[in-house]
Chain A
Amino acid sequence: MTISKLQLFRRPTRDAKAGKEGVSRRDVLAALVAGGALAGVWNSAGAALMLDKAGAGAAANAGLDPAAMAVLDAAAQVIVPTTDTPGAREAGVPVFIDALVARWMTADEAKFFRDGLAALDLSARQRFKQGYAQCSPAQAAELMQELRANSPYGGRTFSLTDRILDPKSPFYLRLRDLVVLGYFISEQASSTELRYLPVPGKFEADLPMKTWPYQTVI
């Protein structure tokens, strides 16, 4: 019943709020075998938590400044808008990408990414006389569409990770792919758009889409 046991499956985190549930690994396993609910064990400690790699050193780069964050936040919401399910903003995607810029990207990649956001913002100021974050959804989408049209990519179809790793990927795709990645691995998307089933119990090979129109993720 100790925190240290819980941390066996929850990464150490700087977030002091996380990891307080008094659940032991044995309880969890028992619940899993019984097909018990998992809510409460893994309620989100926020998108930043996923970046807390045990033993990771200090951030390699500076993160994004507030102005860049505002552009990113607006752009993420254009790429994955809120519909009947949460959008990128509710899923914490901007925080996720900010942390990637700080800890995962090389200095060159981080600069490329910051420059791309700045250019997107500049295009808004030139066309609509206001920052990208202040644009209406229609204006923001128009600029995004234009950025997309002006971003040729010679690569073939890769897995999403492969494309994110491709140094030749233009800014538009880099932004779009990271938003899509951050969104679909988020707790919000995993429980609304997809079905995060840590313990499906069995494999059911043949179900009508009507009853099970989901991708089972883990």
Chain B
Amino acid sequence: MSNTTQFDAIVIGSGITGGWAAKELTEKGLKTLVLERGRNVEHQKDYVNEFTPPWQAPNGGLPERDLDARDYPVQSKIERGAFGWANRQYWINDRENPYEQVKPFRWHRTDVLGGRSLTWGRQSYRWCEDDFLANARDGHGNDWPIRYADLAPWYAYVEKFIGVSGQPEGRKDFPDGEFLPPFAMTPVERALKQAIEAKWKDRCLTVGRVANLTQAHNGRAQCQSRAICNRGCSFGAYFSSLSSTLPAAQATGRLTVRTDSVVEAIDTDPATGKASAVRVIDSRTGERLTFKAKVIFVCASTFGTLQILLQSRSAAHPNGIGNHSDVLGRYLVDHAGAGGFAEIPGFMDTNYKGRRPTGIYMPRFRNLGGQDPDADFTRGYGFQGGAMRDDWTNTAAMSDDFGAGMKRNIARPGKWIAFLGAFCEQLPQAHNRVTLNDKVRGGFGLPQLSIDVAYGENERRMNLDAGKQAEAMLKAAGAQRVQLIPLRTIPGVSIHEMGGARMGRDPAESVLNGRNQVHGVPNLFVTDGSAMASSGTVNPSLTYMALTARAVDFAVAELKAGRL
């Protein structure tokens, strides 16, 4: 590929949003280049540990302490076992790619084609009407330039392609989607649902809506209920760029993918004001290359995108592209949380078979449509959790026994354990921001990204409330004793980092307009989490995908009309 090759479109990043941009752009007829900093990973072939059984796990699956401390000090601290021997190869090398933590922040990221679509938890929920209204209503953050109705058809469009299993619940504050059949709930989850819904009429407990296929869909196989998804799945049974969007883009014959390509900056043409080229460092050779296109989509993940935009400095954009108002890099948000788990007595004669790759969900019930009289915080949270029988990895540590009795006890399914963990909406605030530290160099000699984000008083109060509610609900279901645990107390841990290039109506207080178009740079679009003006309470990626598909639709129409 020569570096003068002209493309119709360039997509920066191949993760959840970049894959979608590539699919939509190519399907609409544009010759598209995807630039990905990570190395190439081939669907199926490179899921090297997918079928490694426990007895072949290196060191019995115990952490490689030296390696992790040296090369993965951030990534290895990821929660819920999402990092380990089976998929270490997907995560970024922290030593080679340092960033500055003004306050503790866990930046969890991959360094492979497909981005975090390979390792994500696949929970897929729509935002509701209220989520788009919250900023305007309580004055924290700017008004969203779009409403639920703008996104609803795009949610449907995305769901139909990726395949989301779930149970329709018919609630306005928790919109249903285009669902494949839901996974089944365990008997204790059903009992939990019954107990909670009987006591609190406004609460709803449902099985997790998840981008795992409960039946064959769009040429991909049905989920086999193994729950080892983050190793990669050769069945293509969960949504990832590698299983879904990139093959669709490839099939058009208009896709070019260039991996090992670290985007440094986007140039603008002083004459037209438009984005003219993307500057790249080849991570293997150090070679610097430039690629040109008529339209550019930045999909490098919230912080990856902010880094690129901040690095794109020119006479017209001295503080980074789109940073005319000093909003770029500000109003970062994530989801804080607290949770509780408890033993639920009884049900010892029932069990389950297989490993369900999702849990349960309870949509927000606090401060919905107004302030609850007993709430000392703004906004709310949703719960995720589940009720399963304890397994040997836990029960073995609950005793110090030995002998035949111990062997038998640990091998049998343990007690029923129920867990509820909150995802609390963080308020958008200007002081939570990222900047570039030009004095300290990170990977590829580029300035280090400096992250200065913390939770505040509102998040602290909301966490307390979430803990109390979790306890009350677990008790309602028969738990005698509930153990409350702080979750997601360090920002970044939820891996729902959002904001920094937020959408808005007013260019003075936002970076993007209601079409994810950079104010003043009409052919430059940003459609990942950095576009978010607030965080809502549900997992965000489905919304990023809907925004991406919608923005491409607009961009291509504008291009064809000669306006870009």
Q: Which residues of A does B touch, CB under 8 Å? A: 8-11, 25, 28-29, 32-33, 42, 44-45, 47, 49-54, 56, 78-81, 83, 85, 96, 100, 103-104, 141, 144, 148, 151, 153, 157-165, 172-173, 176-177, 180-187, 189-190, 193-194, 196-210, 212-218
> Among A53, A199, A213, which residue has its beta carbon within 8 angstroms of that of B59?
A53
> Among A32, A184, A185, A202, which residue has its beta carbon within 8 angstroms of that of B410?
A184
| B444 interface contact, C-beta 8 A | no
How many angstroms from the CA of A216 to the CA of B182 in the assembled complex?
Answer: 21
Q: Is the CB of A9 within 8 A of B393?
A: no
Q: Is the CB of B60 within 8 A of A185?
A: yes
Beyond A157-B398, A163-B397, is A203–B349 a contact (Cβ under 8 Å)?
no
Q: Which residues of B does A touch, CB under 8 Å? A: 44-45, 48-65, 183-187, 221-222, 224-228, 234-235, 348-356, 389, 391-394, 396-398, 400, 402-404, 406-408, 410-413
How many angstroms from the CA of A51 to the CA of B65 in the assembled complex?
Answer: 15
Beyond A79-B403, A144-B402, is A198–B53 a contact (Cβ under 8 Å)?
yes
> Among A47, A80, A199, A207, which residue has its beta carbon within 8 angstroms of that of B226?
A199
Task: Please name all residues of chain B whose beta carbon is closer than 8 Å to the beta carbon of A196 when the two chains form the complex.
Answer: 53-54
Q: Is the CB of A200 within 8 A of B353?
A: yes
Task: Please name all residues of chain B whose beta carbon is closer than 8 Å to the beta carbon of A83 when the two chains form the complex.
Answer: 404, 407-408
Name A103's closest neighbour in chain B (CB-CB): B59
Q: Is the CB of A78 within 8 A of B185?
A: no
Q: Is the CB of B186 within 8 A of A81?
A: no
Name A87's closest neighbour in chain B (CB-CB): B407
Task: Please name all residues of chain A whose beta carbon is closer than 8 Å to the beta carbon of B234 when the two chains form the complex.
Answer: 25, 29
Beyond A50-B55, A217-B54, is A104–B62 a contact (Cβ under 8 Å)?
yes
Smallest beta-carbon distance B56→chain A, Å: 5
Smallest beta-carbon distance A78→chain B, Å: 6
> Among B228, B396, B404, which residue has its beta carbon within 8 angstroms of that of A81?
B404
Q: Is the CB of B349 within 8 A of A206?
A: no
> Among B52, B352, B408, which residue has its beta carbon within 8 angstroms of that of A204?
B352
Q: Is the CB of A148 within 8 A of B400?
A: yes
A sample of 30 inter-chain contacts (CB < 8 A) reads: A9-B50, A44-B55, A45-B56, A50-B55, A50-B59, A50-B60, A51-B58, A51-B60, A78-B402, A79-B402, A79-B406, A80-B402, A141-B403, A153-B400, A159-B394, A161-B61, A184-B411, A185-B60, A193-B411, A194-B411, A203-B184, A203-B354, A203-B356, A205-B186, A207-B353, A212-B352, A214-B351, A215-B391, A217-B54, A218-B226
Q: Is the CB of B348 within 8 A of A185?
A: no
Task: Please name all residues of chain B whose beta carbon is closer than 8 Å to the beta carbon of A199 when the two chains form the complex.
Answer: 224, 226
